[in-house]
Structure 1
Amino acid sequence: MSHPSSPPHADPLCWGHGPVVFEAFLEPTCPFSVRAFNKLDELLQTAGEDHLTVKIRFQSQPWHMFSGVIIRCILAASTLEGGKETAKTVMATVGAHREEFEFINHCSGPNMDATPADIIARLERYSGVRLASAFAIPELQTVIKWHCKYARQNGIHVSPTFMVDGLINPSISSGDSVKDWIGKISG
């Protein structure tokens, strides 16, 4: 948790402490990313925290119109009490109410009249996490830019994309079972 005298700290979205590093590049409103995100806890539990480290990275997609706002909300949540677990709660909330944060055919629907402030308020209401003040932390821009640069430097173009020990593994799909993921990670 940040203190007024210290700069805010975005808690890294990293779970487990094993030698094998599994990085999931996700866009929070992408249905395939939501499907992958919903498997990460089971993956870590099944593989074991001593064997696997799971890291969430963001891959913003411009056709998901509120992608930047929502990613900033999730990273803002990581600066609050609970850190990465609070961020995980906010991200799970987006997935559970995905239609509330997306456009019909990426170009129409009720969200055409929504402002970023409306989206933040809606996410606060659904998640129970007060995000507006943390969202306004200027230093979050550095964290957001890091996620963008990291994805670009690793040749990530779409979400979800998965890396194992620093290498993209194109055989891993959001539609795979956790058991299949483990086989592909270990193989």
Structure 2
Amino acid sequence: MALPPKFSGQRFIPTEGAGASSFPSQPLHTVEIFLDYTCPFSAKIYNTLYTSLLPALSSDPSLGSKLQFIFRHQVQPWHPSSTLTHEAALAVQRLAPAKFWDFSAALFKDQKAYFDVSLVNETRNETYKRLAKLAADSVGVDENQVYELLKIPTEAKGDNGSLNVGNAVTNDLKVVIKMARLVGVHVSPTVIFDGVVAGDVSSSWSLEQWLEFLRKATA
């Protein structure tokens, strides 16, 4: 599936890094990873990718140069805060695309702070303020700029006095949700390799299992 240029931060080419602006002349094998920031299994697979697999591929051009990874947002509506955390990631992606993967790591590391019980008594804008602070503390993105993209107005806006206007990243959220729906992804994590669901991939895979899979798949 295509990746709109405005979401370039969600692409990681091991030999180029996160949000790479250049693109190899040869077609690449594509690993799409559908993840939810409030899903423990998504956190598990992302941790392996972020701390082990991507660094290993970056230091092994013979394999890493064949691949690109794309983060796909898999918002799970039964976790209401899932929407808020993905909105925060989209805000960082807009302000600093190259920091998207690092901020995603911070979100997964801090995910329990956004579980149901952790914020049931918190207003939506209060949660956004915490997410904006996390963005500032973890990847150095301006806290106020992140919050400006996330906050919900407290008064009706527009000529018709709309009370349901969303925030500045609502339209981006709609696009990434439509992408997941288009390919019929239902659970997180889900991995798609070159357009086909890789059902054997597990969140419990070790670095060695990932490398074996990728070597065979790209041979």
Q: TM-score range by the shorter chain?
A: 0.7 to 0.9
Q: Which residue of 2 aligns with 1:31?
A: 40
- Structure 2 distance, partners of 1:13, 1:95, is 15
Q: Which runs of 5 or more structure 1 residues have no equivalent in the other structure?
A: 1-8, 104-108
Deviation of 1:138 (Å): 5.4
Shift of 1:125: 2.5
What is the TM-score normalised by the length of structure 1? 0.81
Between Structure 1 and Structure 2, whose CA radius of gyration is higher? Answer: 2
| Distance (whole Å) between structure 1 residues aligned to residue 7 and residue 132 of structure 2 | 18
Partner Cα separation in structure 2 for residue 150 and residue 175 of structure 1: 26
Q: Does structure 1 residue 89 correspond to structure 2 residue 122?
A: no
CA–CA distance in 2 between the matches of 1:20 and 1:45? 17
| Farther-moved stretch of structure 1 (134-143 vs 25-34) | 134-143
Q: CA RMSD in A?
A: 2.1
SS of match in other structure, 2:80? coil
Deviation above 4 Å: which 4+ runs of structure 1? 136-139
Distance (Å, rounded) in 2 between the aligned partners of 1:62 and 1:114: 18
Aligned to 1:22: 31
Q: How does 1:74-153 map to 2 (within 5 A)?
A: 74-80=89-95, 82-85=96-99, 87-103=100-116, 109-128=117-136, 129=141, 130=143, 131-135=146-150, 140-153=169-182
Shift of 1:94: 1.8
| 1-structure distance, mates of 2:48, 2:65 | 18
**What amino acid is aligned across from residue 125 of structure 2 in structure 1?**
A
Q: Determine helix, strand or coil for the equivalent of 1:113.
A: coil
Q: Tell me if structure 2 keeps the 8 A contact 1:75–1:140.
A: yes
Q: What residue ranges of structure 2 are gaps of 5+ in the alignment?
A: 1-5, 14-22, 59-63, 152-165
**Helix, strand or coil for the counterpart of 1:66?**
helix
- 1:38 Cα deviation (Å)? 1.5
Q: 1:118 is aligned with what amino acid?
A: E
Percent pairwise identity: 26
Query: What residue number does 1:106 align with?
Result: none
In the alignment, structure 1 residue 163 sits paired with structure 2 residue 192: yes
Instruction: Supply the distance in 1 between the matched residues of 2:212 and 2:119 (Cα, whole angstroms).
Output: 40
Q: Which of 23, 47, 68 is the matching residue for 2:57?
A: 47
Instruction: Output the CA distance in 1 between the equivalents of 2:202 and 2:103.
Output: 23
Q: Which amino acid aligns with 1:89?
A: D
| Equivalent-residue separation in structure 2 for 1:51 and 1:64 (angstroms) | 36
Q: Normalized against structure 2, the TM-score is what?
A: 0.71
What is the distance in 2 between the residues matched to 1:166 and 1:186?
17
> Structure 1 residues 182, 61: CA separation in 2 closer, same or farther (over 3 Å shift)?
same
Relative to structure 1, the CA distance from residue 179 to residue 25 in structure 2 (aligned partners, 3 Å threshold; closer, same or farther) is same
Shift of 1:10: 4.4
Name the counterpart of 1:5: none
Q: Which has the higher helix share?
A: 2
Contact 1:27 1:60 survives alignment (8 Å)? yes
Name the residue aligned to 1:182. Answer: 211
